[in-house]
Structures are given as C-alpha cells and as structure tokens.
Amino acid sequence: MASIFGNEKSVNPVLRISQLDALELNKALEQLVWSQFTSCFHGFKPGILAHIEPEVKAFLWLLLWRFTIYSKNATVGQAILNIQYKNNLSQTEKYQPLSKHQKLWYLIFTIGGKWLEERCYDLFSNRQLQSFCKIKHCINFGSGLLKLCGLVNFLIFLQKGTFATLTERILGIRSVFCKPQSIRQVGFEYMNRELLWHGFAEFLIYLLPLINVQKLKLKISSWCLPIANLSNTEKALATHCKVCSLCGEWPTMPHTIGCSHVFCYYCIKTIYLSDMYFTCPECGSEVHSLQPLKCKIEMSELNV
C-alpha cells in the first residue's frame, strides 16, 4: 500500500515534534511489551529471566521489527502519527520504500546494538584479567563516542529537521508523511468537558481542607441519633455520664470539657488536637478545659 501510494504522489516532510513523538511512542511500547511479558513469570522462581534478559529482549524487539519496519516501513509510533520511512538515497522525489539491506542494517544497529551493550556489560563487569579490562575500556569508549555522535546528530536535527537519530542518518532513511496532511476538523466538546472537570477538581482541592469533616460528621450524627430517640437504659447511661458522647461506648479514662457530658480521653484529645474550635456534639459547649472526671465510674455499675 505504501509503495503504491508513494509511486503516485510526492512525499511530505515531517515536523520535528512529530518525529520526536514517534520516538517516545516507540519507547513506551517497548516498556509496555516488556512489562506484560515479565508479568507472565511472576509465579516462577525470582530471577529466572536475569541470565537471559538481553536475549529475551532482543527476541521481542525482533518480532516488533518483523511486523513494523520490515512489513510496513514504519515503527508503531510512526504508524500512529501517519509517518513512515523513505529511502532518502534514491534520487527521485517520489516515495521509495526501504531496501532490504537498509532494513537489515536497521535491525543490526538498533536491536543488535542494544543486545551487544547489555551482554558485554554482563560479560566484562566481573572480569579482572588485563585483556578483559582492555576490551571493557574499548567498549566503554565506543559507547561514549556513539553517544557523543548521537548528541551532535540531534543538534543538527534541531537545525535542519531531518534524521532524528544517528541510525537514520547513517542508513539514509527519512521520516515522511504517508498521506498529504489535510485540514482537520477539531471538536471542542471533549476539551471543554476536560477543562470543566479540571476546574471543578481544583475547586474541591481548595475547598476540602477548609471544611471540618470531623465536626460536620459529629453534627450530622447528633441530628440522626438524638438522645430523645434512645431507650430508657441508654438515657440513664447518658445522664449518669457512663457513655462517651463521641464514640457511644463506655468511657475510657473519662474526661470533661466543662459541660455535663463525658468523653473518652483519646476521643476528645484526638479531636481537640485536630480542631481547636471543637464544640460538644450534645449541647454545643466549647472546650474550656480538658479535665479528668473526678467521680469514679465502676464497670459493675453498668449491669445494675
């Protein structure tokens, strides 16, 4: 399809940002494929893939290369953005697909280079012989030199807008649009919805810290479960200060705040530390002083 289209129409140059976006999409796809593949081995012995990880990665990237570059002259990221590779070594302006040699060398430079770097690092990382140290230094020097050439290539790419990677420049392959770019009809309904929800979320983030949730919950609970609706036994317990006004249980280390109601020490202390303007949920009295209850309440009195 790409070759038929290219033989009929001329190619269109690709923006720099589109080429960089395609590279980022390729990296995201590789991470996704690797994470999904490793998740299949969660039930096995830990570290089962550690010794053959470079080879497994190379095999997975080989499959991706087979169904992307080799078949469609484009990576997954490029296909999403309507981009594909063109043989820039041809003299015509018409679209020319990549040759088999370019595809194979692309495989060697990308997948083979990554595999060689990872495998050599594992082979020579623990070797102490002088010959291995020399090989390791040579590999490190070559890797650093390639990274420096990649940086220079990237600076040239920012200036001229072609050959985003060093591999593309060496092989003479260029990113072009598959089809002429037409005027796109952009709908703003989705954008307006996202802006609305984003503004609403920011409003909630600003408003929620200003609301005393604990006090509001206690107020609602006092409305829903007033003392008037309690049984005679519960009324008697509440009257004789044998029920915590916050948790409704037998008061542990009972304390008062200046009114006739009793609270567990941990209940009232926790709420008072979080809210200095706390008021009693029963009578609405403010906290004057936190004092222990002077009269003793025995647990045996609960059954009387």
Q: Are residues 165 and 50 in the same domain?
A: yes
Residues 68 and 174 placed together within one structural domain of the fold = yes
194 falls within a domain: no
Residues 269 and 162 in one domain: no
Alpha helices in 40-129 (DSSP H): 53-67, 69-72, 76-80, 100-107, 113-124
Map residue 292 onto helix, strand or coil: strand
Q: Considering the domain boundaries, does residue 224 fall inside one?
A: no
Number of separate domains in the chain: 2
* Residue 260 sits in the same domain as residue 126: no
d(CA 169, CA 227): 82
pLDDT at 4: 41
What backbone phi and psi angles, to 5 degrees, belong to 123?
Answer: -75, -40
Any domain includes 4: no
Does residue 304 belong to any structural domain of this protein? Answer: no
Largest CA distance in the chain: 105
| Domain containing residue 251: CATH number | 3.30.40.10
Residue with tokens 């005027």: 183
> Looking at the structure, do residues 156 and 42 belong to the same domain, yes or no?
yes
Residues 150 and 48 in one domain: yes
Q: Over its length of 304 residues, how does the chain's per-residue pLDDT go in tens digits?
A: 444 444 444 567 788 888 999 999 999 999 999 999 988 888 788 778 878 888 899 999 999 999 999 998 899 888 888 888 988 887 677 788 889 999 999 999 998 888 887 877 666 665 555 666 777 778 778 888 988 999 999 999 999 988 999 999 999 898 888 766 555 555 677 778 888 888 888 888 888 878 777 667 767 766 665 544 444 544 444 455 667 877 877 777 888 887 777 888 888 888 777 777 777 877 777 777 777 776 544 444 444 3
Query: Do 243 and 125 belong together in one domain?
Result: no
Tell me, yes or no, whether 191 lies in a domain.
no
Give the domain extent around 38.
Answer: 16-181
pTM, 2 dp: 0.54
- Among 140, 55, 151, 65, which residue's Cα sits nearest to residue 108? 65
Determine the residue type at 216. L
Considering the domain boundaries, does residue 29 fall inside one?
yes
